[in-house]
Structure 1
Amino acid sequence: MSYTIKTTKEGLIYIKASSIIKVSRPNSIEGAKVSGGPLIINADHVSFLSFDTESKVTYFMMNGFQISMKILYQEAEEALQYAKLREEKIIKE
């Protein structure tokens, strides 16, 4: 896997598992884990991009999940924009 974050023509964002800090759903007992493979996000399901309470770059999803990452805000924003435009692009290698 030669990328950290990339987008596809289908509007998906692929994030390398080692770049994920946590996937959580506030006010919920259940949690989610990323197992070795890339985390795939549909850009249409991202409500907004911001920082979480620990100042980590985070995608806030429509279903309530928060995906915190070890990447720069500009890289996450660029990936979201390219995915919404349905363009294939490797943002960070």
Structure 2
Amino acid sequence: MPYTIKTTKEGLIYIKASNIIKISKPNSIDGAKVLGYPLIINANQITFLSFDTENKVTYFMMNGFQISMKVLFEDAEEALQIARSNIEKIIA
């Protein structure tokens, strides 16, 4: 895959699997796994973008999940804004 983060016209964000640190839901036993496929996120389901308790860039989702990534905060923020604008673009 020649991208780290990519957005689509449908408002989706694709994140390369190797850049996902963890997907977790606080107060749950197991985290979800990404098995080599890009993670697809609907930008409208992201509540906010910030840092988690380990200072990793994290999308906080409406359903309670936290998606921590190895990307720059600026790239994650740009991807979120562009996906919400329904523009197709490769960010990094």
| Aligned-pair identity (%) | 76
The 1-side partners of 2:31 and 2:80 are apart by: 24
- Secondary structure of the equivalent of 2:14? strand
Unaligned runs of 5+ residues in structure 1 are none
* Superposed CA RMSD: 0.5
The 1-side partners of 2:38 and 2:60 are apart by: 18
The count of residues paired between Structure 1 and Structure 2 equals 92
In structure 1, the residue matched to 2:26 is 26
In structure 1, the residue matched to 2:72 is 72
Q: What's the TM-score once normalised by structure 1's chain length? A: 0.97
In structure 1, the residue matched to 2:14 is 14
Q: What's the TM-score once normalised by structure 2's chain length? A: 0.99
Unaligned runs of 5+ residues in structure 2 are none
Post-superposition offset of 1:14: 0.1
Q: Which structure 1 residue ranges, 4+ long, deviate > 2 Å from structure 2?
A: none
